[in-house]
Chain A
Amino acid sequence: MKVDGNNGAICVPATPGKNAIEVRGVRKVFGTGEAQVAALDTVSVSIRENEFFTLLGPSGCGKTTLLRLIAGFDFPSDGEIMLYGEDIAPLPPFKRPVNTVFQSYALFPHMTVAQNIGFGLEMLGKPRAEIDARVAEMLKLVRMEKLAKRRTSQISGGQQQRVALARALAPQPKVLLLDEPLSALDYKLRKEMQIELKRLQHETGITFIFVTHDQEEALTMSDRIAVMSSGKILQVGSPRDIYDRPAERFVADFIGETNFLDARIDSIEEGRAKVTLKSGATISATLPDGFKPDGEATVVIRPEHAKAVKDGGDISGVVENVVYFGTDTHVHIRLDDGETFTVRQQNARGAGTSFERGQRVGIVIGDDAAQILKD
C-alpha cells in the first residue's frame, strides 16, 4: 500500500527563499563512558531566511545546546551546520555573523546601556561615528533613548531584556538566536515583549531562532516551530500544522489539550484513513507523513474540534464535569468504553446548550478533526 505523504503534516510547502541555517545530522554528546549524555541525537533541520523559527520543547530537551552549536560556543560531536550554504565549523564564535540574546541577558555590568549596545560594532572595528549613529538607532528601536547613560544594574528586567536585544541586533547579524528571552519576565511584560519581538523581526528582516518551553508563546509568535523532546526534533511545521496535525503523541500532548482514542484502520486512501473507534463508530482521519500502517492506531482530536450534543453523535458517554472558563466551557465526558474525552464549546449569550453532570451526551467529531499519530 502506498502512503501518500502529501498531507502537509511535516513537509510544509516552503516559502520560496534560501536557507539561512541548515543543521545536518548533528549529534552532541556530553561526558564520557557511563556518564555520557546525548544532548542532541541526530538533529536535522533547515531554517529559512527571514523566518521566525521557534524551538519548542520541555526543559532539558536540548534547545540551548542546539543554539550554542550554532553560535559556536560548543562543537557538534557529529554532523555539520551550514550558514547560507557554508560549513561554519572552522569559524570561532567571534567570526560568525550570528548574535545571541542570552537567557540571563549577560549584559556587561561595567558598561552603560549605550556601551553595551555599541560593543559588537566596536569589536568589528567600525568608526566611532557609525557606532554612535547605530547605537542611537538601536536605542530608538527598543525605546530606550532616555536610559542610554545608565548602568545595566540600574534598569529593570524588561529594560535589560530590551538592551540585550538591541545589543544583539546592532551588528546586524544574519541570524539572531534567542534563548528563552522572555522567561524571566512577568506575564504582562512577556505579552508586551512578544509583540515587540515580532515587530523587531519584521522591521529588521533578520532570521530569528527563538527558544521557548511555552507552547502558547511558540504558537502565537512563530512562522514555523520545531518541537523537540529528549534531544530529537519530532516535528517541524507552521503553528497550525503543529497544533492541528500533530504527528506524535508527545507533540499532541505537549501542545494544547488533546483527546487520544484507540482505533483500528479500515482503509487508507489519499493520505486519509477510515478508522473504527472502540465504540464502533467509523470516522475519517488524516494520516501523518511516513506512517507505517499496522492496523492499530491512535487518533487525536482537539477538544474544540468536537462538539457535544444531546442526542446522536459519533461516540457517546456521560458528563463527568463541566468547567466554565468565561470564553468557553470544558465538558469532561466519560466515554462508554471507559476513556475520558474533553469537549470545549464556545460560550455565547443565550445559547441554550448547557450540560449537567451525569447527563448522557453524544460527541460529534468534525470531518477534518481527527489526526492519526505516527507512533
Chain B
Amino acid sequence: MATAAEIEKQAEAREVRNRWFLSAPALIIILLAASGPLLIVLLYSFLTPGPYGDVVWKFSTEGWVSVFLERDIFDDTLSFAGAHLTIFWRSLKLAIMATVATLIFGFPTAYFIATRPERTRDIWLFLITIPFWTNLLIRTFAVLQVIRNEGIINTALINLGIIDQPIQMLYTDFAIMVGMVYVYLPLMVLPLYASMEKLDFRLVEAGYDLYATRWQVLKRIIFPMVRPGVIAGSILVFIPAIGAYVTPSVLGGGKNMMFANLIELQFGQGRNWPLGAALSITVMAIVMVALLVYVRNTSGSEARHG
C-alpha cells in the first residue's frame, strides 16, 4: 500500500507534469514566434549576400563590419560609416525626443482623465483610443496634410499675415517627431492613466496640507508614485519610436532616414541581407541597453513601493 508520503510525491509529480502541459502552448509560441526568427536573423548576419538579395551559405563577418565601417570600393580601406552613424544618432535622438514629448503631453492628459468623476473617465479614455481605429499610414498622411507647405498651419499663418513664406516643416526631423508624438501619445497616456487611477488623491491633499506647493506636490508625491506608469509608457513609446518605419518614410521624405528605413533598404534595393540582419540586431542591442540604463536610473530608492 502506498504511504501518505508516496501519494503526496505522486500528486506533486502530476502537478509538475500538468504545469508543463498547460504552459506548453505558450512556450511553443514564444519559441517559434520570438526566438526562432531572431535566431534566423542572427544566422543571416554571418552569411554572405547573394547577388539578387537572399544569402549564400558562406560564413562572413562582412555584414557586421559594414554596420559601423565602410569599405572603400577602390583600395579596400575601412573608414567609419558616417551615414549609418548619422542615422543611428537621428533614430536615437528622435526616439528619445518623442518619448519625452509624449510624456510632457501625456502626463497632464492622464492626470486630467484620472481626476474626472468615475462615470466620465471611460468616455475620455475612449476618445484617447479613437486614433487607434485608423490605419497608421492614414494617420501619418493626416499629419502630412497639416504641416505641409500648403497645409492648414502654413495657409492659416500666411492668411493671417504672420509670415509670407511657408515654413518648411515637412521632410524635416521635426515632422518625424510631430508624427511620432501624435501616433504614440495613447501608448503613453494609457499606462500613465492606469497608475494615476490607483493614486490615492488623499496623499495629494496631505502634501498640500504640509505646505507643499503644486509643483512640489507633483515632484515629490505624484511623480514618485506614478513612476511605474512613466516607465511603462516610456518603454511603450521608445521601442516603436526607435524602430519607426512609416512615419519617417512619409514625413521624412526618404532623406531623413531612421533605422527601420535603413534596414528596409538593405533587404530591398541594397540587396545586402547580412547587413540588414546585423543592423536589426544592433537596434535591438541599442534598445536593450537604453532600457536598462533608463530603468536603472528611474527606479531609484524612492520608487520601491506597492
Interface residues of A (CB under 8 A from B): 71-73, 92-95, 98-100, 102, 104, 106-111, 119-120, 123-124, 151, 153, 167-168, 171
Interface size on B, residues (CB 8 A): 22
**Given A73, A94, A110, which contacts B211 in the complex, CB threshold below 8 Å?**
A94
How many A-B Cβ pairs are below 8 Å? 69
Interface residues of B (CB under 8 A from A): 200, 202-203, 205-213, 216, 220-221, 224-225, 302-306
Chain A hits for B212, CB < 8 A: 94, 119, 123
Q: Contacts A123-B216, A151-B305, A153-B305 known; A106 to B203 CB distance under 8 Å?
A: yes
Bound CA span A151–B225, Å: 14
Chain B hits for A119, CB < 8 A: 207, 210, 212, 220
Residue of A nearest to B301 (CB): A110
Residue of B nearest to A164 (CB): B206
Cβ-defined contact, B205 with A110, below 8 A: no
Chain B hits for A102, CB < 8 A: 202, 205-206
Q: Contacts A123-B216, A153-B306 known; A106 to B211 CB distance under 8 Å?
A: no
Task: Name the distance in Å between A93's Cβ and chain B's nearest Cβ.
Answer: 4
Chain B hits for A107, CB < 8 A: 206
Task: Name the distance in Å between A181's Cβ and chain B's nearest Cβ.
Answer: 13
Bound CA span A111–B210, Å: 14
Bound CA span A120–B224, Å: 17
Q: Contacts A73-B205, A106-B203, A110-B224 known; A167 to B305 CB distance under 8 Å?
A: no
Task: Name the distance in Å between A359's Cβ and chain B's nearest Cβ.
Answer: 56
**Given B205, B213, B220, B305, which contacts A106 in the complex, CB threshold below 8 Å?**
B205
Chain B hits for A120, CB < 8 A: 210-211
Cβ-defined contact, A106 with B208, below 8 A: no
User: How would you classify the secondary structure of chain B's contact residues: helix, strand, loop or mixed?
Assistant: helix
Cβ-defined contact, A73 with B208, below 8 A: yes
Cβ-defined contact, A109 with B216, below 8 A: no
Chain A hits for B221, CB < 8 A: 108
Task: Name the distance in Å between A155's Cβ and chain B's nearest Cβ.
Answer: 14
Known contacts A73-B205, A110-B224, A123-B211, then 9 further A-B pairs from the complex at CB < 8 Å, ordered by chain A residue: A92-B208, A94-B212, A95-B211, A100-B205, A108-B207, A110-B302, A110-B303, A119-B207, A171-B210
Cβ-defined contact, A99 with B305, below 8 A: no
Chain A hits for B210, CB < 8 A: 94, 99, 119-120, 123, 167-168, 171
Task: Name the distance in Å between A115's Cβ and chain B's nearest Cβ.
Answer: 9
Q: Contacts A108-B221, A119-B210, A171-B210 known; A93 to B306 CB distance under 8 Å?
A: no
Chain B hits for A95, CB < 8 A: 211
Cβ-defined contact, B225 with A94, below 8 A: no
Chain A hits for B209, CB < 8 A: 71, 73, 93-94, 98-100, 168
Residue of A nearest to B208 (CB): A93
Chain B hits for A111, CB < 8 A: 302
Chain A hits for B207, CB < 8 A: 108, 119
Chain B hits for A98, CB < 8 A: 209
Q: Contacts A100-B209, A119-B210 known; A106 to B216 CB distance under 8 Å?
A: no
Residue of A nearest to B212 (CB): A123
Some 22 contacts from A to B, beta carbons below 8 A apart, are A72-B208, A73-B208, A93-B205, A94-B209, A94-B212, A94-B213, A98-B209, A99-B209, A99-B210, A100-B205, A100-B206, A100-B209, A106-B203, A108-B207, A109-B203, A109-B225, A109-B305, A110-B305, A120-B211, A153-B306, A168-B209, A168-B210
Chain A hits for B225, CB < 8 A: 109-110
Chain B hits for A104, CB < 8 A: 200, 202
Chain A hits for B302, CB < 8 A: 110-111
Bound CA span A93–B202, Å: 13
Task: Name the distance in Å between B208's Cβ and chain A's nearest Cβ.
Answer: 4
Bound CA span A123–B213, Å: 8
Chain B hits for A106, CB < 8 A: 200, 202-203, 205-206
Cβ-defined contact, A124 with B202, below 8 A: no
Task: Name the distance in Å between B119's Cβ and chain A's nearest Cβ.
Answer: 13
Task: Name the distance in Å between A17's Cβ and chain B's nearest Cβ.
Answer: 26
Cβ-defined contact, A109 with B306, below 8 A: yes
Chain B hits for A151, CB < 8 A: 305
Question: For B208, B212, B213, B303, which residue has the most chain A Cβ atoms within 10 angstroms?
Answer: B208
Task: Name the distance in Å between A124's Cβ and chain B's nearest Cβ.
Answer: 5
Bound CA span A99–B207, Å: 10
Residue of B nearest to A177 (CB): B209
Chain B hits for A100, CB < 8 A: 205-206, 209
Chain A hits for B200, CB < 8 A: 104, 106
Chain A hits for B220, CB < 8 A: 119
Bound CA span A168–B302, Å: 22
Chain A hits for B202, CB < 8 A: 102, 104, 106
Task: Name the distance in Å between A326's Cβ and chain B's nearest Cβ.
Answer: 41
Q: Which 6 A-B pairs have the closest CB atoms?
A: A120-B210, A106-B206, A123-B211, A93-B208, A106-B202, A123-B212
Task: Name the distance in Å between B293's Cβ and chain A's nearest Cβ.
Answer: 22
Chain A hits for B208, CB < 8 A: 72-73, 92-94
